[in-house]
Structure 1
Amino acid sequence: MSQSIAPALEEKQTDTSPTLTFEEYRVYQGEPDVQYELYKGQLIPMATATALHTSICEYLVYKLQRYLAAHNLDLVVKTSVGVRTENATSCIPDVLVCTQSLWEQILAQPGSGILDLGETPLLVVEVVSENRRADYIIKRAQYELANVPEYCIVDPKCGKQKIRILAFIEGEDGYTHTDFFPGEEIVSVVFPDFVLSVDEILNPPLVEELVKAERAELQESQQQAVIERQRAEEERQRAEQQSQLAEQQSQLAEQQSQLAEKLAAKLRELGVDPDTVV
């Protein structure tokens, strides 16, 4: 979240407040319902997200979860999970993707859910709010330092709307960025077939409505499957009836042939040529 890293810290102004080690930060209990990031030992309270900010994050989580499930990938999508980038610095991206096995390790650890050094997520997302410098400069440097393969900045500010994808490109020492604007589609570097509309990300539909539509589609699909099964069963029964009728007709024809043979034999016994009988 963009307001979490105070510019004053980056400008190295004097700060007499106590500093924390990463281990102290992991178990720190601050004010209820307040999340803190750690920047060079300083606790930075995170600003409350706007409604649009929340909707964007929910939409991205929804789309990523569906994508991972559709591709049967052993990855998880999480929010409010920290990423340690230096000895005394830890960011909390709005959305991150990491391996399922790594997440299971985090679950077994005491204290806050934080990916430690070497426990690198595949993708992190930050939605820009007021402190644009934090996301575009400070956090870029932090995620680059932590070797996060892909960093996505979603900027919904009117007049500046865009989505920036930063990633390590072969042959480059640091992040290379690509900007995507309204009317375009973003293409992930880590997940190259994960494609989303910039317009939908910046002005996302309600996830609740997407879930309803998904459920309605599933129900319609199930109903269609029932109809198809019924139709198949009717076709099977019809084919079986036709087979039975054909068998009955065959039996009747055989019986008629046998009767004709018997009649012909009887006529011969009586001295009548059956071929002369009309």
Structure 2
Amino acid sequence: MVEALLKTKLVTFEEFIQWKPESNRYELHQGVVVEMNQPVGKHEDIICFLNERITAEYLRLNLSYGIPKTALVKPPESESAYSPDVLVLNRPNLANETLWEKESTVTQAASISLVIEIVSTNWRVDYLIKAGEYEEMGIREYWIVDYLGLGGRRFIGSPKQPTISVHELIDGEYQVSQFRGNDRIVSPNFPEFSLTANEIFQAEWLV
């Protein structure tokens, strides 16, 4: 069953969601099933670090947000479904999500406060495909955390270096601000966030 679906040229979201196993991480990219590689330790460290710091911030602000473990983001007009590294949901709007109860899937920008993707070897997906689809959905804020500086030079400059690209939706288009080294991250959703790019790259917990 797995091999048959992976070899299928195009798959609908309904076929994908009925098949997707719980034990492995898969995404649907414009009708193509993609098996996601197991993240390396540093990748997971950054996920844990960001989850903790963002959770602390929205609790401090008394916001009705939440960070799910395996929820999917589905662009309404595309046969795609993405599993972000960090997904901050606006929980009150989940009542309007028809796919939430059974599929743990959101399709509305109003349900999504922030999406974060941490770059691995297939950097083009984060910088090109997901940025385009998240923008079209109207997601207000999207981060690309490129802790190894893998992205193309047209995205992170030359020479390549670790970079966090914060995409903010303004008049229907993403405007990108980039942060490196000791630059403090400027987040539209969390304007008082005090982390620097290096603190995120190092992902060191305070004792």
- How would you bin the TM-score normalised by the shorter chain? 0.7 to 0.9
**Partner of residue 122, structure 2:** 131
**Partner of residue 141, structure 2:** 150
Match status 1:73 vs 2:63: yes
CA gap 1:202/1:118 in 2 versus in 1, 3 angstroms: closer
**Alignment root-mean-square deviation, CA:** 2.3
What is the DSSP-based 3-state SS (H/G/I as helix, E as strand, rest coil) of the residue aligned with 1:196?
coil
Distance 1:71 1:142 in 2: 29
Deviations 1:138-175 (A, max 9, x none): 11101111111000010111552010000112xx4410
Question: Is the CA contact (8 Å cut-off) linking 1:76 and 1:98 kept in structure 2?
Answer: yes
Larger Rg: 1
Distance 1:120 1:77 in 2: 12
Question: Is the CA contact (8 Å cut-off) linking 2:100 and 2:106 kept in structure 1?
Answer: no
Deviations 1:163-209 (A, max 9, x none): 0000112xx44101000011111010122122311111001114xxx
Question: Is the CA contact (8 Å cut-off) linking 1:61 and 1:78 kept in structure 2?
Answer: no
Within 5 A, what are the aligned runs for 1:221-260? none
Shift of 1:101: 2.4
Distance 1:95 1:16 in 2: 29
Question: Is the CA contact (8 Å cut-off) linking 2:20 and 2:26 kept in structure 1?
Answer: no
**Partner of residue 161, structure 1:** 162
What is the DSSP-based 3-state SS (H/G/I as helix, E as strand, rest coil) of the residue aligned with 2:62?
coil
Distance 2:120 2:114 in 1: 20
**Partner of residue 199, structure 2:** 200
**Partner of residue 237, structure 1:** none
What is the DSSP-based 3-state SS (H/G/I as helix, E as strand, rest coil) of the residue aligned with 2:20?
coil
Question: Is the CA contact (8 Å cut-off) linking 1:83 and 1:116 kept in structure 2?
Answer: yes
Shift of 1:59: 0.4
Q: TM-score, normalised by structure 1?
A: 0.63
Shift of 1:16: 6.3
Deviations 1:252-278 (A, max 9, x none): xxxxxxxxxxxxxxxxxxxxxxxxxxx
**Partner of residue 48, structure 2:** 58
Question: Is the CA contact (8 Å cut-off) linking 2:165 and 2:177 kept in structure 1?
Answer: yes
Shift of 1:118: 5.5
Shift of 1:35: 1.2
**Partner of residue 110, structure 1:** 102
Question: Is the CA contact (8 Å cut-off) linking 2:94 and 2:111 kept in structure 1?
Answer: no
Q: Structure 1: which 4+ aligned runs deviate by more than 3 Å?
A: 102-108, 117-120
Match status 1:25 vs 2:16: yes
Deviations 1:69-88 (A, max 9, x none): 11111111233321001331
Structure 2: segments with no counterpart, 5+ residues: 1-5, 150-159
Within 5 A, what are the aligned runs for 1:92-103? 92-103=83-94
Distance 1:24 1:118 in 2: 23
Deviations 1:119-155 (A, max 9, x none): 6411100000111111111111011111110000101
**Partner of residue 174, structure 1:** 173
Q: Which amino acid counterpart does residue 31 of structure 2 have in structure 1?
A: G
Structure 1: segments with no counterpart, 5+ residues: 1-14, 214-278
Identity of aligned residues (%): 28
Q: Which amino acid counterpart does residue 132 of structure 2 have in structure 1?
A: A
